[in-house]
Amino acid sequence: MAEQKRKDLTLVIVESPAKAKTINKYLGKNYKVTASMGHIIDLPKSRIGVDVKNNFTPEYITVRGKGKILNELKKLASQSKFVLLASDNDREGEAIAYHISESLKEKYPQVPIKRIVFNEITKPAILEAIKSPRDIEFPKVNAQKTRRILDRLVGYNISPILWAKVKNGLSAGRVQSVTLRVICEREDEIEKFIPEEYWTLEAIFAKSKKEFTAELFKVDNKKPEFRNQDDVNKLLKSLDEKNFSVTAIQTSSKSIRPTPPFTTSKLQQVAANRFGFTSKKTMSIAQQLYEGIDIGRETVGFITYMRTDSTRISPQAIGEVRNFIEENFKESLPESPNYYSKSETAQDAHEAIRPTSVHRTPDLVKKYLTPDQFKIYSIIWEKFVSSQMTPSEYSTETILIDNNNATFKISKSTLLKEGYNAVLNLLKSKDGEEKYVKIPPLKEGDKLDLKKYLPEQHFTQPPPRYTDATIVKFLEENGIGRPSTYAPTISTLQERYYVERKQRQLVPTVLGKLVNQLIVKSFPDIVDIGFTAKMEDNLDNIEKSNLDGTNILKNFYVPFIEEIEEASKNLSDHKKSFDEQTGELCEKCGKPMVKKLGKFGFFIACSGFPSCKNSKPIPLADCPKDGCNGKIIERKKAKRGKKFYGCTNYPTCDFVSWFKPTEFSCPKCGKFLIEKNDKIHGSYKTCIDEKCGYKQVEEH
């Protein structure tokens, strides 16, 4: 009887334990849900694993450490009447399902195996998926296989050259390398940038003793351009200070449409701009919301699949959200649903990211979520609901003030209809909001009293460094990578010490600059934006059965391997280019200490390595404590590995700081400056000594 009962089981295989736990609660006792923990079969790590001469045949093996999981899946399959493969509905998920299927069929060919997919982890969605099993989609598998082989050919051929010419442990990747190039080129623009002086002009006017400020709008009906103070003074001399009058009062209205629900890239951009979240953190939180949150009575997926480039919404979800809007924001319900066009590069395989139930409002579920989960869920919910609401409408009053050939302007916007703004909280934008500008009652022809001119000097700023938000936007707009690759690409660049994150900005390191220089010189196609985007299109077309993966690989490999051979012969050796004498002697063996570049940045090590393994961190600044001659170095907390900065004389000196010392000294007291960021000043430098109080605010 026990054996018969076991044979009634249907085995459902998902990717993660969290997902398995959630789905298991939706299905009855006749189902067993378990996790594969991602890929079980893949290319070997120890060698290239691709037979180039035999049509690029991949050498697939069981991933190290996954043998026990595969054996357990085989055991469970042998006890089951049916196997359902429920990995993610994308190329990687299809490949995972395919490899598991092949492994199980080899051992138990009699067990039927099917594939199921779903866009959200809710009971109705899972039960519906169970009713509609399908076969493996081989074009998707072929697209993933081609992508995997392509990336392996690039990485495992270029990386050894970097090891031989620069240092061990370096890597190169197809999407990674072009992203590094973009970041390095922006840094090069910044370094070459020459600031130019320019001036702006405002004026304080009064009417009936009520003052207000207006900006210079036009000179001779053209946008004013002042290169220096003399240009400003020249204009001021031409104006009659007693002859300012209101020449026009213009009233206009504008309607601002809501924006589409989130795609992966837009979610990462907004989370970075609003909360300072890295792309990796945003995707990790979204994964938690997708896989399931315990709400007491049940575990339920809060959002739909979070890797998508589509703004499409299912008819069922549109119907639900329109009913919700009618019940709660009736005046903001449009006559018909809002639809949004998809981008040219969108695969449109999944819906946009949305809540699985619009009735789970952020306030209602806040008690079940961590603060970070609440932030991400809130913006997803707000973006989805607002996307199906009416536009916001504004009235703008603009007053023009003339004097000879100069026109000053002051404007005030007033919100007439909230529209989609009615539902926004965390997503509320400063753009278009009512501007509380104090303007006295004015009419055309009114004479105004000039109180004061306010000329101000400025300097043009270099282009900004990329942040997580802006680099993801660049990658998406240029067709580089796909939703699943944005976050891993940025993380890999940091892990390789090619890029550092400073105040949310992505800054290339000296190592990153050198690696980029070598790859650009030797492998121009690999870092060509157009070439990389075209390759992504090719992979999409393989998935649509329009292209053959083997031909794509052949066309790529022949010229690529010639570049590899050329680079191996002719690239200069840079192995010692980062070593620098310090003038110190090793306290253990007496040999010179050398500044070297390691996996996580620069450090000081004995030149007698490997016989002497003495090493220490680079001092960042002098200890600011009076009477202490120690140095400030980077340290890490043992439990979580969080960085902090402490004195080398610890425990005699107990100075610690969470803020990294900059290379700048305080002009008041001489101690080091640290960099901070707040909503009022943005990024600024301040003295480590709070009693000193020196603050250096940057102009933006």
| pLDDT, tens digit, 9 for 90 and up, residues 531-567 | 999 999 999 999 999 999 999 999 999 999 999 999 9
- How many residues are recorded in the chain? 700
In this structure, the number of other CB atoms found within 10 A of the CB of residue 692 comes to: 15
Tell me if residue 248 falls in helix, strand or coil.
strand
CA distance 168 to 376: 39
Secondary structure element (H or E) that encloses residue 538, with its range: helix 529-543
305 catalytically annotated? yes
CB distance 196 to 228 below 8 Å = no
CB distance 604 to 621 below 8 Å = no
CB distance 55 to 142 below 8 Å = no
Instruction: Output DSSP code: residue 422.
Output: G
pLDDT at position 623:
93
CA distance 311 to 351: 6
CB distance 517 to 580 below 8 Å = no
**Amino acid identity, residue 49?**
G
Distances (CA, A) of 680 to 359, 418, 471: 36, 27, 25
CA distance 124 to 165: 57
Tell me if residue 296 falls in helix, strand or coil.
coil
Largest CA distance in the chain: 104
In the numeric block, which tokens belong to residue 389? 């609401």
pLDDT at position 232:
97
Domains and CATH numbers, the chain: 2-136 (3.40.50.140), 145-193+469-570 (1.10.460.10), 197-257+392-406+418-459 (2.70.20.10), 264-387 (1.10.290.10), 579-618 (no CATH), 620-700 (no CATH)
Secondary structure element (H or E) that encloses residue 235, with its range: helix 229-238
In the numeric block, which tokens belong to residue 583? 């003038």
pLDDT at position 382:
97
Report the number of secondary-structure helices (H) and strands (E) in the chain.
18, 30
pLDDT at position 10:
95
In this structure, the number of other CB atoms found within 10 A of the CB of residue 461 comes to: 12
pLDDT at position 91:
92
CB distance 511 to 498 below 8 Å = yes
pLDDT at position 344:
61
CB distance 378 to 369 below 8 Å = no
Q: What is the pTM of this model?
A: 0.84
CB distance 240 to 403 below 8 Å = yes
Distances (CA, A) of 3 to 8, 31, 78, 79: 9, 15, 11, 8
pLDDT at position 428:
84
CB distance 454 to 430 below 8 Å = no
Secondary structure element (H or E) that encloses residue 50, with its range: strand 50-51
pLDDT at position 448:
96
Short-list 559, 538, 558, CA closest to 549: 538
Q: Which of 305, 377, 466, 557 is catalytic?
A: 305
CA distance 203 to 248: 17
The parts of the chain modelled with pLDDT lower than 50 are 1-5, 431-433, 700
